[in-house]
Amino acid sequence: MTREFELDDRRINGRTMDMGRIDETATVDATEVWEVRSIVPMPHSFHVHDVQFRVLTVDGDPPPPELAGPKDTVYLEPNRTYRLLMRFEDYTDPDVPYMFHCHMLLHEDEGMMGQFVVVEPGQDAGTVPEHDGGAEHGDHSGADPGGSGPDVAPGTDVHQGQH
């Protein structure tokens, strides 16, 4: 599977970060080649969570020695194509994504980031859980002792296992 990632000023493939959006779906144990290219004359890097990768080629040539080892981030010279070899070997979850992003702090802060999930063969990407803790806490309060919640012995921690 080959995927292309084009970076401009602050976007990857024309998009900025959306925590509710899954941009890519990788299958566990499948070999992936990510082709990454910055199309603007400014410094960017490309950082991938979950795995280390190898640089296969830079503009079709073998990488220089400093890019020959395992990486989790690669600096992108403008207008050059980096082919990155990676394999996601574990921790599948269709709903909980990993991130890829430019590793320059200003750029990632401004949304230069996307998300991918690793799934089992044949599985589709799911839905990212909402990161809104407030609603969940509201639900818990309804089950507090004295309410209509389940009957529990005094001293039982009804929240056990949920932390």
Q: Which residues bind Cu ion (CB under 5 A)?
A: 44, 102, 104, 107
* 113 neighbors 139 (Cβ within 8 angstroms): no
CA-CA distance, 7 to 11, in Å (whole number)?
A: 6
Choose between 83 and 107: whose C-beta lies nearer to Cu ion. 107
Distance of CA 36 to the CA centre of its chain: 15
Least distance to Cu ion, CB of residue 72, Å: 16
Least distance to Cu ion, CB of residue 37, Å: 13
Least distance to Cu ion, CB of residue 81, Å: 16
Choose between 48 and 118: whose C-beta lies nearer to Cu ion. 48
Least distance to Cu ion, CB of residue 35, Å: 17
CA-CA distance, 53 to 32, in Å (whole number)?
A: 10
Choose between 26 and 102: whose C-beta lies nearer to Cu ion. 102
Sheet of 44-48, strands arranged across: 24-27, 113-119, 93-101, 44-48, 73-76
Choose between 20 and 43: whose C-beta lies nearer to Cu ion. 43
- Cβ neighbours of 75 (radius 10 Å): 15
Choose between 84 and 119: whose C-beta lies nearer to Cu ion. 84
**Which tokens go with 65?**
């020695």
Least distance to Cu ion, CB of residue 107, Å: 3
Distance of CA 18 to the CA centre of its chain: 11
CA-CA distance, 86 to 56, in Å (whole number)?
A: 10
